[in-house]
Structure 1
């Protein structure tokens, strides 16, 4: 055992240690809940009853979001859960010739798609990473999963970024911000685009050396559960056989492709009309869910196989349905009891004009472990961060970007957003979130350094 451990590279030792000591993502959420409750009791005037009330009110806060994501991922898995689509994915994956190329392409592809839409990147990147790992020998499935997930780190600085969109729209904090802050000053600023490019380059190089020094490869096949990957064809065949046993009107309708094809074509027609009218600005999580539903209807054999596939794949989204409401409860404790404001105000008070942006970035990163919802965290902390920044003569836009970067930064070690990738990456395998999150630790350091440099030395505009 000792000999095998000595043969591991440094990154493998870190990842192995992380996997060994980091608890299940549900335990992580429960521990954070208890810590948030204790902190609220210590640092605010809230009593036990008020803290519990805040927790109770917060649990349903993310019900809608959890259902949106669960539906989207189940529908996306239905889309790839057909022989025809699997064959197409295999052909695309076969264009990747080496494990190093697989890692590089996954990282770049994931970054580009996540920058376009945080709700798009996880679906398509997880599907791509899974397909490549299944087809190409020598690909470490834990590492390519980590690369797929880490590519998400620039997502909320992109076109669909929650905070940039929030400050560009009229809202309760518009006066605090001194007016609207357009995307040209946040998402499309020189600082943001330059730092995003630097992050993609730096993470690609970092993962290149991690992969090159790897001593122990755990492939997709090593983690696959039995013949789970062949279950699609078998189940579809069994369902078709069962349907063919009867020749009643109901049986003929059930095995007919016409009903789902008609609805699928209607949906496709509407999508064309919708995007002609709205362009890319019409892309959001609801749109992505509708696209996945429509595409699945167009490629599945009939309504019965679609329903069976959806039900089978919905099981993979259980972690989202369970854990998102728990984080809603944590976010509510921080917001309702005023804990977020108390901690933010105290830490900001020790900063000055030279350290303010860095401290804001670091504080937000810590708070993100407890409140991984960007919108919730911004609403709770911006009323303290913005005035503090103004008192030091710092542009409000820079403060907004410091909060944005900090909020995304610690997602690299926070399993909440890893659950966006997990349903697809883990389906039919023994993969756990903690198996790949440890590989993101070096990226955490690299990205943190880049964003601190960007906030302090790269101008918003030339």
Structure 2
């Protein structure tokens, strides 16, 4: 446990808040661009860098991207606060009669849900872990609660390779790849790139689904083994209460806010529009952020059963997006500097010089894992690192879907080390980071071995 304590102390001592990290990365990027790029006087170069920065911050395409990613988080959180999800969570909890069984139930359920939506999986895993702890406490079941909390966080190690993954979802949008590389590489090179890459080649490809299956089984077995070997811990929890909506104070037109028929009608309307708009790409297994969010919006309204319940869940969920909301423009500004100054091309050339078609995905995996420690947002990381990955893969002839998923795998796996996204789980479960880190680090090592092997073999 000494190693995990060291990791926790290092994060506390040397890593400030994610927003401060984004500011520091902005300053460092400006200095590097000033020193290593540009021609002419320092004043003119600095002015150009500031111009690139401003244009990146307010890049309209990337701002749309930021809103899409925030909706994925918010709508996923809203879904898990619905009554049907509450019943599902309580149903799973009843089967948790010892630490080993509980660990498998929590980790497998959480990873399956997270593969569909990472925001849903994050809160689902947290509440499920909390309810398992409460169940053990009420029924006097010996339980290692920190291990269960770690299992509830394990969905964040597979999310980017899932249906809500930022990078594979964005490249599935028509025109995203040329737009991302516009102004970074020559137009003749951009013309050789596909306008989009279908999720049938990334998220829903046989090799990615196979890797997910291997990780699911391996981490499930690992959780069971750890549960068998773990020592029970003391649990002191108050019952976690889901929000309930009362109609007794509604008057006149306010009754529409509580009407289940109104919510059902509007939800069905959304589903009809969804089928009209997205049935063709869905049949081709090509999923985009707008498609996913449209479906989840309709599903959330139907499952909540009233606009009032839905809006109260939105109010609770939206607080988790505040940090992301303000960080995204800063990461877009960093990308603007790197693109406008030519840094992306220089860094890509370096990776190409030390890589080949076999090693580039591995380098991408490790670099993405490192970047995730400082940029704990998959969307923000794709904005910064995506052009580097695409440029390098293009030069070396590495299949673009493989390069994109290598970034996704590296980004997601170090979530087991970076505690930023664990904050909602820690708040719900009342655990501390140092309590779950010993187990999440083991998950990270095993998951990394599987993903690296997959990138080398598949």
Please give the TM-score of this superposition, normalised by the length of structure 1: 0.71
**Which of 1 and 2 has higher RCO (CA within 8 Å, sep 6+)?**
1
* Shift in alpha-carbon separation, 1:262–1:127, aligned structure 2, 3 A: same
Match of 1:134 among 131, 136, 144: 131
Gaps of 5+ in 1: 1-8, 391-395
The separation in 2 between residues aligned to 1:181 and 1:304, in whole angstroms, is 39
The separation in 2 between residues aligned to 1:264 and 1:337, in whole angstroms, is 47
* 1:37 maps onto 2:30 in alignment: yes
Aligned length: 426
The separation in 1 between residues aligned to 2:295 and 2:35, in whole angstroms, is 47
The separation in 1 between residues aligned to 2:50 and 2:7, in whole angstroms, is 36
Give the conservation status (yes or no) of the 8 Å contact 1:162–1:374. Answer: no
Tell me how far 1:364 sits from its aligned partner. 5.1
Q: CA RMSD in A?
A: 4.6
Tell me how far 1:143 sits from its aligned partner. 1.0
Tell me how far 1:270 sits from its aligned partner. 4.1
* 1:101 maps onto 2:85 in alignment: no
Once the two structures are superposed, residues 222-267 of structure 1 have per-residue CA deviations (whole angstroms, 9 ceiling, x without a partner) of 5x8xx7x43613xx23xx3332xx5xx4345555444333212322
Give the conservation status (yes or no) of the 8 Å contact 1:15–1:438. Answer: no
Written as runs of structure 1 = structure 2, the 5 A alignment for 1:4-403 is 9=1, 12-13=4-5, 16-17=8-9, 20-21=12-13, 22-45=15-38, 47-61=45-59, 62-83=62-83, 85-112=85-112, 117=116, 120-124=117-121, 126-135=123-132, 136-137=135-136, 138=143, 139-140=145-146, 142-152=149-159, 154-155=161-162, 161-162=168-169, 165=172, 176=192, 192=208, 195-208=211-224, 229-230=240-241, 232-233=243-244, 236-237=245-246, 240-243=247-250, 246=251, 249-271=252-274, 277-279=280-282, 281=285, 283-300=287-304, 302-351=306-355, 358-359=362-363, 361-363=365-367, 365-366=369-370, 372-374=380-382, 377-387=385-395, 389=396, 396-397=398-399, 401-402=402-403
Gaps of 5+ in 2: 40-44, 137-142, 182-188
The separation in 1 between residues aligned to 2:428 and 2:76, in whole angstroms, is 15
* Shift in alpha-carbon separation, 1:417–1:58, aligned structure 2, 3 A: farther
SS at match of 2:262: helix
The separation in 1 between residues aligned to 2:307 and 2:213, in whole angstroms, is 44
Worse overlay, 19-28 or 328-337: 19-28
The separation in 1 between residues aligned to 2:6 and 2:93, in whole angstroms, is 29
Tell me how far 1:296 sits from its aligned partner. 3.4
The separation in 2 between residues aligned to 1:231 and 1:349, in whole angstroms, is 55
